[in-house]
């Protein structure tokens, strides 16, 4: 009986564990890394001026949460069909270390330390690629990452498609909820840091939404709901 009680108690304690989820673009870092990647690809001669202009337009619409995200992703990933996963991973790694890793905001670093001190698992929850998210998690000492994934064929070549749902909007809630279930994390006790109105479903899902330098519409929502707004 004693054993059963202690098992139940430890389960209860484990279930009550919160996690801290962090959006990446314009939250952990002060820019949209998708745009930085597009600029990098242009400089390397991997995309055309037209493709760079199109990427700029998408990023602008993305920032305003006015984009058809699946359509934008479909067009972007088609470009990578037939590329070896290993090559994209290597290029992303080089780019991340040169252009992105130093852009982790000081305030984000402080928040990560606070959560780490409280033994909260740290998870990147982003609409960026699995290539970038995995490198970011490794570089900044996160426990895990959740991001968009891209199937490859048996020879390790990208098929030019993506897994659904995308890790965006309601999709982020699905990814995070599944992860929380598998790691005995309580979503109601958890934190989510984000800048974007597109993240409203996930901000509503956690017990502790944290709004970071929000876009105007999210600022309005946050004020109406008395959510903390952080000036990073």
Residue ranges that bind Mg ion, judged by CB under 5 A: 23, 25-27, 195-196
Of the pair 23, 36, the CB lying nearest Mg ion is at: 23
Contacting residues for 45 by C-beta, under 8 A, at least 6 apart: none
Question: Cβ of residue 173: shortest distance to Mg ion, in angstroms?
Answer: 15
Nearest-angstrom CA–CA distance, 232 and 195: 10
Question: Cβ of residue 194: shortest distance to Mg ion, in angstroms?
Answer: 6
Of the pair 85, 131, the CB lying nearest Mg ion is at: 131
200 closest CA partner among 186, 220, 180, 178: 220
Of the pair 33, 158, the CB lying nearest Mg ion is at: 33
Listed in sequence order, the DSSP H helices in 64-156 are 69-78, 85-95, 106-117, 130-139
Question: Cβ of residue 131: shortest distance to Mg ion, in angstroms?
Answer: 18
| Contact call for residues 142 and 123 (beta carbons, < 8 A) | yes
DSSP letter at 189?
Answer: G
Q: Does the CA dihedral 100-102-103-107 come out positive or negative?
A: positive
Of the pair 148, 196, the CB lying nearest Mg ion is at: 196
Question: Cβ of residue 155: shortest distance to Mg ion, in angstroms?
Answer: 34
Question: Cβ of residue 4: shortest distance to Mg ion, in angstroms?
Answer: 45
Of the pair 41, 195, the CB lying nearest Mg ion is at: 195
Nearest-angstrom CA–CA distance, 124 and 147: 8
| Contact call for residues 40 and 99 (beta carbons, < 8 A) | yes
């Amino acid at each position: 009986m004693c054993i059963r009680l202690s098992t139940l108690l430890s389960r209860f304690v484990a279930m009550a564990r919160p996690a801290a989820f962090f959006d990446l673009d314009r939250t952990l870092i002060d820019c949209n890394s998708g745009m930085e990647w597009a600029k990098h690809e242009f400089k390397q001669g991997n995309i055309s001026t037209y493709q760079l202009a199109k990427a700029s337009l998408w990023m602008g619409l993305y920032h305003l949460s006015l984009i058809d995200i699946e359509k934008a992703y479909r067009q972007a990933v088609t470009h990578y069909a037939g590329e070896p996963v290993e090559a994209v991973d290597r290029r992303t790694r080089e780019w991340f270390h040169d252009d992105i890793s130093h852009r982790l905001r000081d305030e984000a670093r402080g928040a990560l330390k606070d959560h780490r001190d409280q033994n909260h698992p740290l998870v990147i929850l982003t609409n960026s690629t699995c290539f970038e998210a995995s490198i970011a998690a490794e570089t900044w000492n996160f426990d895990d990452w959740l991001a968009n994934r891209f199937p490859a064929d048996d020879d390790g070549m990208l098929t030019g498609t993506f897994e659904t749902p995308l890790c965006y909007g309601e999709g982020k809630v699905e990814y995070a909820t599944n992860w929380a279930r598998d790691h005995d994390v309580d979503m109601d006790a958890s934190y989510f840091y984000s800048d974007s109105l597109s993240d409203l479903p996930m901000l509503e899902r956690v017990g502790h939404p944290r709004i970071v330098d929000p876009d105007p519409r999210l600022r309005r929502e946050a004020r109406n709901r008395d959510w903390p707004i952080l000036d990073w």
